[in-house]
Structure 1
Amino acid sequence: MEDKVKFELEFPIQASPQLIFQYISTPSGLSEWYADNVNSRGELYTFIWDDSEEQAKLLSKKSSERVKFRWMEDEEDYPSCYFEIRIQVDEITKDVSLIVTDFADDDEVEETKMLWENQISSLKQVLGSA
């Protein structure tokens, strides 16, 4: 079984880290832009789209900085895979960026990147920074 490919994307975003963090770390925030609905029980998050449901485990979170999840379906075969959304603030300009780290099969990297671009575009609309 081949390992998945790790990639990173950076998105400039005009909103405060505290506000962004609400949207990337809470079920209600995530359901505004990432999935149709999100529920959580402790560290287990259930992401619901039209006709599919995926579960992810919250691996870590740091207030106003980052969240890191692993899809449950990857737990056995790809234990080192995860997806992370990190809020980065430039010390000098105070510009805010979101750094997305994710893993995908070799032939799905471009598709997955496009998916993230769409998702982050939705997030920017919700934040009013589009």
Structure 2
Amino acid sequence: MMSALEKFTLEFHLETTPKLLYTLISSPEGLTRWFAHTIKSGEDVYLFQWEGNEQAARLVQAKDNEYVVFQWLEDYHKDLFLEMRIETDPMSSGITLVISDYAEATDVDFSKRLWSAQVGQLQRLFNS
């Protein structure tokens, strides 16, 4: 039996524009540059593929240059959401990417490290 899932939220400060970041978090082309090796999409369903793993999710909410929310479609994860939100602070340069995700309680630290590595790849896209 799997343990209970725990929601966690991470914030990453990025030096980019909301428009560019939104493209990278909402489109299959953008997401393959940092989030998954390949992404197939049809309608609002995205099939994310990593090495030896794949997960399907439906894009259930999106607002241009602000946020995307994916709902996982596998039975075990079907009530879980992945949210990526773009926050701007008029007092500082850059923006904040806020990621809300779920992991088993024993895997939260691993999941946070994985997200940090993935967002590191995303950050390198802005610095090249």
Q: Structure 1 residues 20 and 108 mapped into 2: Cα distance closer, same or farther (>3 Å)?
A: same
Task: Give the alignment of 1:113-124 within 5 angstroms.
Answer: 113-124=112-123
Q: Any idea what SS the aligned residue of 2:92 has?
A: coil
Q: Structure 1 residues 67 and 92 mapped into 2: Cα distance closer, same or farther (>3 Å)?
A: same
Asked whether the equivalents of residues 11 and 98 of structure 1 are also in contact (C-alpha less than 8 Å), the reply is yes
Q: Any idea what SS the aligned residue of 2:118 has?
A: helix
Task: For 2:19 and 2:125, locate their aligned partners in 1 and report how far apart those are by CA, in whole Å.
Answer: 15
Q: Any idea what SS the aligned residue of 2:124 has?
A: helix
Would you say 1:19 and 2:20 are equivalent positions?
yes
Deviating more after overlay: 49-58 vs 118-127: 49-58
Amino acid at match of 2:64: S
Q: Structure 1 residues 80 and 48 mapped into 2: Cα distance closer, same or farther (>3 Å)?
A: closer
Deviating more after overlay: 114-123 vs 87-96: 87-96
Task: Give the alignment of 1:1-130 within 5 angstroms.
Answer: 3-73=4-74, 76-128=75-127
Q: Any idea what SS the aligned residue of 1:87 has?
A: strand
Structure 2: gaps (5+ residues):
none
1:14-62 per-residue CA deviation (whole Å, 9 max, x = no partner) reads 0000000010000000001101111110110011122222111111111
Structure 1: gaps (5+ residues):
none
Asked whether the equivalents of residues 11 and 96 of structure 2 are also in contact (C-alpha less than 8 Å), the reply is yes
Task: For 2:32 and 2:11, locate their aligned partners in 1 and report how far apart those are by CA, in whole Å.
Answer: 21
Task: For 1:126 and 1:78, locate their aligned partners in 2 and report how far apart those are by CA, in whole Å.
Answer: 30
Asked whether the equivalents of residues 4 and 81 of structure 1 are also in contact (C-alpha less than 8 Å), the reply is no
1:84 deviation in Å? 0.7
Asked whether the equivalents of residues 33 and 122 of structure 1 are also in contact (C-alpha less than 8 Å), the reply is yes
Q: Any idea what SS the aligned residue of 2:80 has?
A: coil
Residue-pair matches, total: 127
1:66-105 per-residue CA deviation (whole Å, 9 max, x = no partner) reads 11112211xx445442111111001322431100101111
Identity %: 33
Amino acid at match of 2:72: W
